Every structure is written in structure tokens, then in C-alpha cells.
Amino acid sequence: MSNLDAETAALRRGAGAFRSSRDVLAVRGPDAEDYLQGQLSQDVAALAVGDAADSLLLEPDGKLSALLRVTRIDGQGFVLDVDAGYGDAVTARLRRFLLRSKVELERLAWRCLSLRGQAVGEAAAGLLAVLAERGVLALPFEWNGWEGIDLLGPEDVVLGPEGAELPAGLVACGPLAVEACRIVSGIPAMGTELTGKTIPAEAGLVERTVSFTKGCYTGQELVARIDSRGSNVARRLVGVVAPPGPVDSEGGDTLARGMTLHAGDAPPGDGAADDKVAGTITSAAWSTELGAWAALGYLHRNVEAPGTVRVRSGDGVGGSHPARVELLPLVGMAGAGTGSG
């Protein structure tokens, strides 16, 4: 079994560990709950101490500022964590509407060690107990059937995933296996699937991140309007699957970020100039689970999914090659691939 095979197996069925790149922000003060209740899409007031939930931070026009996680620390304190590189943007966005609220915002020198797999609870029991005594947050994780725990705390307490530092039973996993599992699980990431132009319904985030029973919050109008119309948006996040093909045999990747998706038969000569773009790939990786290339991308609503599409390089060079678009997550397709990595 290759390293990629072994790491993927650990992340799914065993106990895999990796460093999640996260920026962490503390929000404290007598007005912290009320302020976040008016800024985040989740019902912050309903969170008990120690509870966490994924939430949207939106711009006034309803476009995405960030997908983040909010955790209640105590009656007047919360911790927000977001994909690395977006902490400053979250801080600036929150400060913009702070006005006279008695709230303090502070970036924290924290890190996140992510544990994934069905056996994490047993393999990491001792580690969890030790870190809990040192104030580390152990936050349950589940997204489309991918399970685990995120350990979030000060960087001098939460150690890295290097093998020498991990208890027996935990497998240190590299970025290739982690990225493949993320894509197959259909989990969007900031900077690839999620940008300042993203409408939450396009990425399938609303059910997970939005409370429709709480009061008003910034950006709510667009979310509510689209939901009332059956979440009918012009494009949607889908999975793309393709076996190794001619592009791969020439030293490239069969699927890669920036490649375009096309429906129907190729135009005469298979030229890019006459081939209408129906979507774009945002992330891609080789998946040992599927025995195929797996990708995430946005596809126009007029193109049927599941279904067959054609893929071509983003620069328009060369012809197109076949692939399939699938509903997310792709993890249910495991074992149905057409090759091996």
C-alpha cells in the first residue's frame, strides 16, 4: 500500500492527523453575543459554553466575506476560526460595523491539529484528556460523513502532526491525502470554492450555516430571498470525476484548477474559441478512494448533474477530454473508479 493509500485509509476509517491552517480570533465583552448575533448567520445566542457551529460572515449585499466556525468560550467570550490567510479580513469586516458596542477583537496565536477517521475517539483518548486539562478546545467535526475532531489552542500546547509527537494509533497525513479527502467529501475552501463573489446557496452552505429562526443579521436579505425561491441560483458546486487520460500521459494532470467544463458534443475541430464554457474547476486531486481524478467546480444550472461533460485546459490549448459531473459528496462513489494512483 502506498503512502497515499495508507494516509487516505487512516483519514477515513482509522485515525489520521494533520495540521489545519487556521487563523483564530477572540471576540469578548458584554456585547459580544448581541454583536455576533447581528453579524453571523448562525444563532449564536443558542450556543452553550463549549458548543461550536459553522457560520457565514456576509457583506451587506449577501455575498460571502468568510465561512468560519464560532465557539462559545463563556458567557461573554467567543472564538472564531477561519481558513488561514482570512483572519485579517474577518477582523476588518467585524470592526466595520462595531460602532459603540462593548466588544474586543483579538487575533490569537493558536493552531489547529485535525484528527480524522472513524477510530479517532479511541486512538486519541489519552491525548484529548491531556490537552483538555491545558485549555485546548476539542471540537467535533462532521461534514458529509467525514468525521473527526479539531484540537484548537495555543501554539505552544497544540503540537504538530509529526510522527514522534503523536500517540500510537494516530497516523501523520500529508497534504495530498488531506486535499483528496476534502474534495471527495465536497467541502468548499476559502480562496478556491469560496471567494468574495460567492453566493452561499451556490456552494451548498445554507443548510449547514444559516438559522432561519434567529433575528436579523448583516447580509440576511439575499440569503432569505434565494431560499424563498427554492435556492434557484445560476450555478452550483458539483464534483467532477475523470480517469487518467491523454493529458495525464503527457505529464500534466487530467483535472486541475482553472480547467473549464463544457456540455454537449465538441464543436468542429474541437477548438476552444467555439466551445461554450459551462463551468470551471476550482480544486482537483488524485483520489485513491475513487481510483480517479476528483475535483470541485461550479457548473451552470442548465447542465444536468449527474451527467457527462468535457474538460479542457484553462488556457484553451489542446482539445477537450471526457469527464463526469456528480452531485456532492463523491465519497459514496468509492470503489467505482477506473484506475489506481
Reported pTM: 0.93
In the chain, ranges of CATH 3.30.1360.120 domains: 3-185
**Residue 134, helix vs strand vs coil:** coil
* Averaged pLDDT for residues 216-244: 95
**Residue 179, helix vs strand vs coil:** helix
**Average pLDDT in the chain:** 92
Q: How many CA atoms lie within 13 A of 67 on its CB side?
A: 23
Query: Would you state the pLDDT for residue 57?
Result: 98
- Map 23-72 to HEC letters: EEEEEECCCHHHHHHCCECCCHHHCCCCCEEEEEEECCCCCEEEEEEEEE
Per the structure block, which three cell numbers stand in for 194?
469560496
Per the structure block, which three cell numbers stand in for 144?
458529509
Tens of pLDDT, residue by residue over 132-181, are 999 999 999 999 999 999 999 999 898 776 655 788 899 999 999 999 99
* Averaged pLDDT for residues 184-210: 98
Q: Say whether pLDDT at 321 is over 70.
A: yes
Q: Which amino acid is at 257?
A: R
Q: Say whether pLDDT at 338 is over 80.
A: no
Could you tell me the CA-to-CA distances from 58 to 23, 25, 39, 121, 243 in Å, in that order? Answer: 18, 17, 8, 34, 38
* Averaged pLDDT for residues 222-233: 94
Please name the CATH architecture into which domain 3-185 falls.
Answer: 2-Layer Sandwich (3.30)
Would you state the torsion angle of the CA atoms of residues 66, 67, 73, 77, taken in this order, to the nearest 10 degrees?
A: 20
Q: H helices of 99-174, where?
A: 120-123, 125-133
In the chain, ranges of CATH 2.40.30.110 domains: 235-333
d(CA 330, CA 67): 21
Query: What is the CA angle 281-221-106, rounded to 5?
Result: 75
Please name the CATH architecture into which domain 235-333 falls.
Answer: Beta Barrel (2.40)
Residue 286: pLDDT band by 50, 70, 90 thresholds? very high
* Averaged pLDDT for residues 284-295: 96
Per the structure block, which three cell numbers stand in for 111?
493552531
d(CA 94, CA 92): 5
- Nearest Cα neighbor of 35 from 95, 106, 86 is 95
Query: Would you state the pLDDT for residue 336?
Result: 42
d(CA 67, CA 73): 19
d(CA 87, CA 223): 23
* Averaged pLDDT for residues 242-246: 74
Tens of pLDDT, residue by residue over 50-93, are 999 999 999 999 999 999 999 999 999 999 999 999 999 999 99
**Residue 99, helix vs strand vs coil:** coil
What phi and psi values does residue 328 have, to the nearest 5 degrees? -90, 150
Per the structure block, which three cell numbers stand in for 178?
488531506
Instruction: Tell the burial category of 270 from Cβ atoms under 10 Å away from its Cβ (0-12, 13-18, 19+).
Output: middle
